[in-house]
Structure 1
Amino acid sequence: MATPGDELYRPFRPRFVRYVSTVSIVLAGAGLVTILVVAPGTGGQGYAPSSATGMVVVVLAGIVFLWRQGTVRADVDAETITVRNLLVVRSFAWEQVLAVSFGTGDPWVMLELADGNRHPVMGIQRADGARAVRDAQRLATLVALHGEADEHTM
């Protein structure tokens, strides 16, 4: 049986971006197969090997990008927050996090760090609407519990 503490430490993962990424990956793969098999070049001659290889490389690069975007998240425990963004994975001790900000125009949550820098948390995205606001508040609660929270930035 889950305890209230388990709910507090649940990973932060965007919902809308995962759905869009998954659908886009399926469509890109199906489109590639369609282009290579069903519509093989001009005049039914088929594509040159270099053209087919180029198409496969471009579509696979797009699929990797979409997969990475769909797997952004933030994992939390009693000691750290680990943020997996599009290109970089970073872990922060709670003491390094001073505040959580999620301004009206911000696409995702930002961590205000003790060294004066800000770090995005793409696992909580504005596209998720009210769910994103609840997740930002949950993250602020974790910062208040474990770090040097500055509550007025929410």
Structure 2
Amino acid sequence: MSDLPDLPVTFRPGHTRAILLTAGVVIFLVISGIAMLLELGPGERLSFVITGALIFWVLAQLARIKVVADESGVTVVNIVSRRRLDWAEILQVNLRPGDPWVFLNLSDGTSLPALGIQPGIAKQRAVADARALRALAEARSAAHEAQDQG
């Protein structure tokens, strides 16, 4: 158990996040700069700035994905959803070759994508994160079963 990460631990695609946030800032600044350079009325300039801000907001939403594991369970934050799971609800943590991200098989028979661990740019990191989350889930599940039997 000593190879388990200390809790709480947050898994997120760091490179992807940095790229998305950097692109969002650059796009916002370029669109806003163009609005200031062109001979536009105040309403047209404002619409450029709002468009840049909207693009930044969308990219920031894409960058917020993460998986947070703590003592009582896991919080999965995807693009438009957030779900809290108890450790006992997670039956299996899967990252198969070709999968775009980790999938959590749940006790209710469903599968939940966990976009916070994805092998896109940093495949080795994603594999290590998936293994760590799997080890945590197995250790917490075993501890939960021991409590139920004891």
Q: Under a length normalisation based on structure 1, what TM-score does the superposition of the two structures give?
A: 0.81
**Structure 2 residue matching 1:62: 3-state secondary structure:** helix
**Structure 2 residue matching 1:126: 3-state secondary structure:** coil
Show the 5 A alignment for 1:4-153: 6-7=5-6, 9-38=8-37, 40=38, 46-127=39-120, 128-147=122-141
Q: Which segment is superposed worse, 122-131 or 26-35?
A: 26-35
Contiguous gaps of at least 5 residues in structure 1 = 41-45, 149-154
- Offset, 1:8: 5.9
- Alpha-carbon deviations, 1:61-105, whole Å to 9, x = none? 111111122221111112110111111111000111110111212
- Offset, 1:58: 2.1
Runs of 4+ in 1 over 3 A off after TM superposition: 3-9
Q: Tell me which amino acid in the other structure corresponds to 1:146.
A: R
- Offset, 1:142: 0.9
What is the RMSD of the two structures over their aligned residues, measured on CA atoms?
1.9
User: Residues 8, 132 of structure 1: CA spacing in aligned structure 2 closer, same or farther, 3 A cutoff?
Assistant: farther
- Counterpart of 1:43 in structure 2 is none
CA distance in structure 2 between the aligned counterparts of 1:51 and 1:33, rounded to whole angstroms: 11
Q: Tell me which amino acid in the other structure corresponds to 1:37.
A: M
**Structure 2 residue matching 1:131: 3-state secondary structure:** helix
Percent of aligned pairs with the same residue?
27
Contiguous gaps of at least 5 residues in structure 2 = 143-150
- Offset, 1:6: 5.0
CA distance in structure 2 between the aligned counterparts of 1:5 and 1:143, rounded to whole angstroms: 10
